[in-house]
Chain A
Amino acid sequence: MRKDIIKFKNPPSIVSYASVVGNKEHEGPFGDKYDLYDESDSFGMPTWEQSEGEMQRQALNLAMKKAKLKPENIDAIFAGDLINQCTSSSYGLLDFDIPYFGLYGACSTCAESLLLSAMAVSEGSFENCAAVTSSHNCSAERQFRFPLEYGSQRPPTAQWTATASGAFIVSSKGKGPYIVEAMGGMSTDMGIKDANNMGAAMAPAAISTLSRYFIKTNTKPTDYDKIITGDLGFEGYGIVMDIMEKQGYDMRPVYTDCGLVIYDREAQDMHSGGSGCGCSAALMAANFLDEIKKGILKDILFIGTGALLSQMSVQQGLSIPGVAHLLRIKGEL
């Protein structure tokens, strides 16, 4: 039988984390909580892809500094972004001289990189791992949709790729927050073809992972202080809430979504909210992990959600599969 849930015998600790964001994110509700931001979104680089890489570099640098670790103390980097062949991660993290693993899980990459780091550290293969992810509105828009200056109208279900990056140091030693359990998600395709409604495309994956987890652990949503999904936005958030309720799980009291809250959707005209792997990474680093450290939250589920589409799959008329990886993070063991 497949081992669905990984229960870490030696729960690894997220010893430090850092977030770097762009201007719109800084203007959003969590504006003051991010470590660094650049008003121009360019981070002093000539192309958007390099700007995104620079965000990852700054985020990892800062996370290492906070943990008082040097590159030679980090055994491996697990990193990813949305750009073809993980260009931003590969180039942005080039100068660190740390063994590097590039990941693509679309917007679930933050959870994926944390999950893999936690596995490697808990197994004892590595002592310290870095999980780094980013997305940049301009590089993603250019690759997946239209040129930046192209004048088009976005439907209400569209989401805005966040210009954001988050870096986490996962260590075998440390005082938490601890990653105590993890569960890999299965790709789930429910036939949604509309690339302007990614929330609906990814929600079934989140629902599949969540209900699988609740059944296997025999728990219910209210057993946790908070359940945080990555970037389902207003649309996907509503679908998860609705369908989970039909399955007998009341998510209402504890459920939130990073895409839903990263922007002030009305004032910033963000339609269905934020998306991108930087969205959940930056919010976890800037807000939720801090809340665990302060004791406001004690036991949370974080579900990174990704839409596994490419420009080619959309043009060939294929539907959009989603994937959702789950992490259970606790303040104390």
Chain B
Amino acid sequence: MNKKEYKKYAEKRAKKSPVFINCIKAFFTGGIICSFGQLLKNIFEGFGISQESVKMLVPVSLIFIAIILSGFGIFDKIAKHAGAGTLVPITGFANAVVSPALDTKNEGWVLGVGAKIFTISGPVILYGMLSGAVYGVIYWITQKA
């Protein structure tokens, strides 16, 4: 068996992730998180808070909850089942920032937490900003025309 054949053989016999069930789980947990966000919005509005502030308060609350759950070691247990359901909403980003921070505190505040806090979310921030800039240029050109 050569390398190519072995790779094919190994890939073929490996049990695949249950994509269909994972999608369903992700759909519902993602949906629950978003509905919860909507509920928060309604509650905040009920208190008579201005639209602008509510737009800030809802994501901040979700981030806060995700961080607290990460700190207590609960978030990864939910994410194990929820997958993209917890990853795609802002909760996933919060977890991606706080988990390296928790992990590296023994290496110190500067070289540990400071240097490593964005190891997972760093690429998202970099390429998010880059695509934002590219979109800005396109927008500027189309507006001029």
Contact = CB atoms under 8 A, between A and B. Distances in A.
A5 interface: no
B14 A149 contact: no
B70 A149 contact: yes
Nearest to B78: A151
Contacts of B79: 151-153
Interface stretch (B37-45, B96-104, B126-134, B137-145): B96-104
Tell me the interface secondary structure of chain B in the complex: helix
B92 to A, nearest CB: 7
Interface in B22-54: 22
Contact of B76 (A149, A156, A239): A149
Contact of A147 (B7, B78, B86, B100): B100
B7 A149 contact: no
A47 B105 CA distance: 10
A146 interface: yes
Given A46-B106, A146-B120, A204-B6, A151 B95 contact: yes
Interface stretch (A70-78, A189-197, A287-295): A189-197
B14 A153 contact: no
B103 A243 contact: no
B11 to A, nearest CB: 8
Contact of B14 (A46, A146, A156): A156
A142 interface: yes
A231 interface: no
A150 B76 contact: yes
Q: How many residues of A sit at the interface, in one of the four size bands? A: 20 to 34
B87 interface: yes
A142 B100 CA distance: 9
A88 interface: no
Interface residues of B, number: 35
Q: Is the interface of A mostly helix, strand, loop or mixed?
A: loop
Nearest to B86: A151
B10 interface: yes
A151 B76 contact: yes
B99 A149 contact: yes
A238 interface: yes
A200 interface: yes
B15 A156 contact: yes
A318 interface: no
B89 to A, nearest CB: 12
Contact of A153 (B6, B15, B17): B17
A174 B96 CA distance: 54
Contacts of A191: 3-4, 6-7
A149 B17 CA distance: 21
Contacts of A47: 106
Contact of A235 (B7, B14, B22): B14
A152 B4 CA distance: 29
Interface string B64-107: 00000011010110111011001100001001101110111010
B56 interface: no
Contacts of B3: 189-191
A148 interface: yes
A99 interface: no
Interface in A174-210: 189-192, 197, 200, 203-204
Nearest to B71: A149
Contacts of B100: 147, 150
Contacts of A235: 13-15
B17 A156 contact: yes
A275 B124 CA distance: 31
B70 to A, nearest CB: 5
Contacts of A150: 76, 95-96, 99-100, 120
A155 B73 CA distance: 21
A239 B80 contact: no
B14 A142 contact: no
B121 to A, nearest CB: 10
17 contacts: A147-B99, A147-B120, A148-B103, A149-B103, A150-B96, A151-B76, A151-B79, A151-B86, A152-B79, A153-B17, A156-B14, A156-B16, A191-B6, A197-B10, A235-B13, A235-B14, A239-B13
Given A153-B79, A155-B16, A200-B10, 20 more contacts: A47-B106, A146-B99, A147-B104, A147-B120, A148-B103, A149-B98, A151-B76, A151-B80, A152-B76, A154-B80, A156-B14, A156-B17, A157-B14, A157-B15, A191-B7, A192-B6, A204-B6, A235-B15, A239-B13, A242-B13
